[in-house]
Amino acid sequence: MPIMNKLKTAIIGATGYTGLDLTHLLSKHPKVKICYLCATKNLGKKITFFDKRIKKKLPKLTSIEKINWSELDLVFLSLPNGEAQKIIKKTFFKYKKLKYIDLSADFRIDNKKDYFKNYKIKHKAENLIKYSLYSISEFNKQNIQKYRIIANPGCYPTSIQIPLVPLLIKNAIKQKNITIDSKSGYSGAGKNFEKKFGHKNLYHSTYAYNVKNHRHVCEIDQEFLKFTKRKIEFSFNPHLLPTFRGILSSIYVHSNKNNSANSLRKILIDFYKRSKFVKVLKLNSPLGSGNVLNTNKCEISICETRIKHKIIIFSAIDNLVKGASGQAIQNMNLLYKFSESLGLK
């Protein structure tokens, strides 16, 4: 395909864990030309200094001040919360063909007060929230093209909503007393995570954190309400594991009426029968995050327990791919009507 027909893109925040995965995947995408790789440090260095997986010759790291916005079609923003909204606010109305995929939380939360409550940041582009779409790709294939700002979901919410939303829509499980126990590799906490948690042995231990007030709860609450028109009662217990990447969510539910574990499995199979990336395993299958590492896949296992109507749903994703960069590319593919799986595995 001629270069002139490729999407001209910039990746802002290219050297973080997610930014590097995004750069690696986009460098091999047949319909993308990376025009800018932006960072705040190490300007002028090659991206291969940070990630040896990247083989393609790409632009050296530069600052956002060097971007010629008028030549771009799409910007990926892989930045700390509060930063993407500033950039989008400055460019949104000036460059009207420009679209954005934001991997932070800046446009995930519809209500500015909820955003402030969870992130302690005052939203500086609240007038642009109406132009944004929160997009787990499997739920937004038809209407994503209407939006210029795509809010890429959080990693934990992705692993949780993919198995639960179809079951909640069908009223197949009780909407109270859902327990979600999610375990993530430490890359989910970003670089320098030891300072953030103040815990000395994170590379060698399992660490539970933010059990009552994890900021992803607001995001999950919001999306469950959109799909069910009801408040879903759940607890969310996140953990960090001494492994680099991957999420395994264990979700404890009670089935409604005469729904068995197998009937829940059939609901998910039917819902995702055309999905490129969601795979529902055989009943009672063991599942680990190793199945999906470095892929955009979500694998789900429905398991019976000793207690009638109490069922465990296991959901595995790679937090840096399906939970971040891979889903961003899947959203891009849908946004521009490319094959949904292009550039992904």
Flag whether pLDDT at 15 surpasses 50.
yes
Q: Please give the residue range of the domain that contains residue 126.
A: 3-153+323-335
- Average pLDDT value for the chain: 93
pTM listed for this prediction:
0.93
Instruction: Flag whether 283 is in a domain.
Output: yes
Cα atoms found within 13 Å of the Cα of residue 14, Cβ hemisphere only: 36
Residues 208 and 178 in one domain: yes
DSSP labels, 16-60: SHHHHHHHHHHTT-TTEEEEEEE-SSSTT--GGGT-TT--S--PP
- The pLDDT assigned to 108 comes to 96
Residues 76 and 19 in one domain: yes
Flag whether pLDDT at 99 surpasses 60.
yes
Residues 105 and 35 in one domain: yes
Q: 261: part of which helix (H) or strand (E)? A: helix 261-271
Of the pLDDT bands very low, low, confident and very high (cuts 50, 70, 90), residue 13 is very high
Q: Which of 228, 197, 232 is nearest to 218 (CA)?
A: 232
Instruction: Flag whether 341 is in a domain.
Output: no
Label residues 102-141 b or e (16+ Cβ within 10 Å = b): bbbbbbbbbeeeebeebbeeebebeebbeebbbbbbbbbe
Flag whether pLDDT at 8 surpasses 50.
yes
| Phi, psi (rounded to 5 degrees) for 225 | -65, -40
Residues 131 and 87 in one domain: yes
Phi-psi region of 175 (alpha: psi -120 to 50; beta: other; left: phi over 0): alpha
- The pLDDT assigned to 190 comes to 64
Q: Which residues pair with 164 in a beta bridge?
A: none
Q: What's 268's domain CATH number?
A: 3.30.360.10
Instruction: Flag whether 340 is in a domain.
Output: no
Q: How far is Cα of residue 174 from the mean position of the Cα atoms in its chain?
A: 26
Higher pLDDT, 253 or 1: 253
Residues 297 and 171 in one domain: yes
Lowest mean pLDDT among 141-145, 206-210, 245-249: 206-210
Q: What's 12's domain CATH number?
A: 3.40.50.720
Flag whether pLDDT at 2 surpasses 50.
no
pLDDT tens digit sequence for 38-66: 999 989 899 998 888 998 999 999 999 99
- The pLDDT assigned to 310 comes to 94
Flag whether pLDDT at 3 surpasses 50.
no
User: How many domains does the chain divide into?
Assistant: 2
Instruction: Flag whether 38 is in a domain.
Output: yes
Active site residues: 155
Q: How far apart are CA 260 and CA 117, in angstroms?
A: 39
Instruction: Return the percentage of the chain with pLDDT > 70, whole number.
Output: 95
Of the pLDDT bands very low, low, confident and very high (cuts 50, 70, 90), residue 200 is low
Residues 192 and 269 in one domain: yes
pLDDT tens digit sequence for 140-153: 988 999 999 999 99
Give me the mean pLDDT over the 243-260 stretch. 93
Q: What pairing do the DSSP bridges indicate for beta strands 234-241 and 207-208?
A: antiparallel
Q: How far apart are CA 38 and CA 47, in angstroms?
A: 10
Give me the mean pLDDT over the 226-248 stretch. 93
